Amino acid sequence: MSAEEDLARATGLLRAHTDSSWAGVREALLQRAAAAFRPSAPVRGRHALGDFFVAADVVVAQLRAAVDAVPAATAVRIVCTTGEADVLEQVVVELSVRFGESLQEVAATVREAVGARLGDLLGPLSPGVAAVRADLHVTDVDLP
Amino acid sequence: MRARGPGLAAPEAEVDDDVLVRRAVMGDRGAFAAIVERHGPALHRYARRLLHDDGATEDCVQETFLAAWRALPRFRGDAALRTWLFTLARHQAYAQHRTAAGNRTRPQLRAVDPVDLVDTVDPRSDPADVSEEGQLLDDLDAALRLLPERQRSAWILREVEELSYSEIGAVLDVTPTAVRGLLERARASLVTTLAAWR
């Protein structure tokens, strides 16, 4: 076998190779990333004692949980937009919806769920259901 | 409501990088974990061949991904995520090298003298314990260590990680024409080295 052939074969082997130490690195890395601090945008809320702030990460996580509780729908992406004084103005929820479901019904259910969760989180400063946009991706399509 | 269909079911393993990035920017650690799963093995493979030291490689890969996690909100998407990660990893490898400069077991970014590889290149002392493929990989690793860092990086990023010339240029901060030259010299050196060893 020529050196060129050796190199080509070794290259293919390296391309398919995963260093044995990667598994340990991966575990440690995910643990460190989970604990790593990264500033999150504030979202203003209000209750009887005054205003408070909730991290955008927390808002998104709460909304994701609310959406995922809706049958046949899964949150693919949730984007919050804040305006002046960090007041939440809009929420866009990208949804993956099982093929065959009524899109309008699923979207309406999701909007209600998101609106309710926003009310719980932010109080009177919740933008309400009208500010929630649902973008649907239909999945698991089975054409005849 | 806006409907898009037919779409694709989107478990994170099948989601595009740009979608994972947008989700990670919003603080979605699951999306970030998917990025780690997708690109971690390649970054580790690259860093390991820059540093040739398990501890330094682990530090390099961890710091690369942590830097990415912190910097994701500022990632503009001008380059592919993968290119950006390799760029961060290379910078981090140099940082590791500088940090370890005073240690006896310093990671090695520069090409080494072949004489220094005598011990590390000798996994064949007991042929029964080492497969032919393992020998070939060891020989390639040793041959790569003889290359100057930029040639080594260019070759790995092109031949192993299959980046384009312009992507490699972005990682190495050189022109695609310069990448072509680095690759030609790297290939010639590798063939010559392997021919002498095998």
| Least trusted range by pLDDT, from A50-54, A97-101, A137-141 | A137-141
Q: Say whether A136 and B160 touch across the interface (CB within 8 A).
A: no
Looking up tokens 């990264």 gives A38
DSSP B21: H
How far apart (Å, rounded) are the C-alpha atoms in residues A88 and A110?
A: 18
Q: How many structural domains is chain A composed of?
A: 2
Mutate to test the interface with B, among A15, A37, A38, A101 (most CBs of B within 10 A): A38
Residues A128 and A67 in one domain: yes
User: For the segment A8-44, what is each residue's pLDDT rounded down to a tens digit?
Assistant: 999 999 999 888 889 888 888 888 887 877 777 778 9
Per-residue confidence (pLDDT) for residue B74, from 0 to 100: 73
Return the higher-pLDDT residue of B2 and A2: A2
How far apart (Å, rounded) are the C-alpha atoms in residues B184 and B64?
A: 29
DSSP B187: H
Q: Where do the domains of chain B lie, and which CATH numbers do they carry?
A: 11-109 (1.10.1740.10), 110-198 (1.10.10.10)
How far apart (Å, rounded) are the C-alpha atoms in residues A65 and A68?
A: 5
Residues A18 and A55 in one domain: no
Spans of chain B below 50 pLDDT: 1-10, 104-106, 115-125, 128-129
Per-residue confidence (pLDDT) for residue B104, from 0 to 100: 47
Per-residue confidence (pLDDT) for residue B103, from 0 to 100: 59
> What ipTM goes with this model?
0.76
Q: Is the pLDDT of residue A125 over 80?
A: yes
Q: Following DSSP, what letter does each residue of B33-91 receive, concatenated?
A: HHHHHHHHHHHHHHHHHHH--HHHHHHHHHHHHHHHHHHGGG---SS-HHHHHHHHHHH
- Cβ B41 vs Cβ A11: under 8 Å: no
How far apart (Å, rounded) are the C-alpha atoms in residues A73 and A97?
A: 5
Using CA of residue B164, residue B168, residue B173, residue B174, what is the dihedral sign?
negative
- Pair of tokens at residue A21: 């130490």
Residues A13 and A83 in one domain: no
Per-residue confidence (pLDDT) for residue A85, from 0 to 100: 82
Average pLDDT, chain B: 81
A107 in a domain, yes or no? yes
How far apart (Å, rounded) are the C-alpha atoms in residues A115 and A121?
A: 10
Residues A98 and A63 in one domain: yes
> Does the CB of A51 have a partner CB in chain B at under 8 Å?
no
How far apart (Å, rounded) are the C-alpha atoms in residues A43 and A86?
A: 5
Q: Is the pLDDT of residue A142 over 90?
A: no
Contacts of A140 in chain B (CB under 8 A): 9
Q: Say whether B33 and A33 touch across the interface (CB within 8 A).
A: yes
How long a stretch of residues is chain A? 144
How many C-beta atoms surround the C-beta of residue A69 within 10 A?
12
Residues A13 and A51 in one domain: no
Per-residue confidence (pLDDT) for residue B132, from 0 to 100: 83
A144 in a domain, yes or no? no
- Cβ B95 vs Cβ B128: under 8 Å: no
> Does the CB of B37 have a partner CB in chain A at under 8 Å?
yes
Residues A76 and A7 in one domain: no
pTM for the full predicted model: 0.68
Per-residue confidence (pLDDT) for residue B120, from 0 to 100: 46
Per-residue confidence (pLDDT) for residue B112, from 0 to 100: 60
DSSP B174: S
Domain that residue A7 falls in: 3-35
Looking up tokens 């955008």 gives A56
Mutate to test the interface with A, among B14, B23, B32 (most CBs of A within 10 A): B23
> Does the CB of A4 have a partner CB in chain B at under 8 Å?
yes
> Does the CB of B12 have a partner CB in chain A at under 8 Å?
no
- Cβ A64 vs Cβ A75: under 8 Å: yes
Band (pLDDT 50/70/90 cuts) for residue A129 is confident
A103 in a domain, yes or no? yes
Return the higher-pLDDT residue of A120 and A130: A120
Residues A46 and A97 in one domain: yes
User: For the segment A39-86, what is each residue's pLDDT rounded down to a tens digit?
Assistant: 777 789 999 889 999 988 889 889 999 998 998 888 887 877 777 788
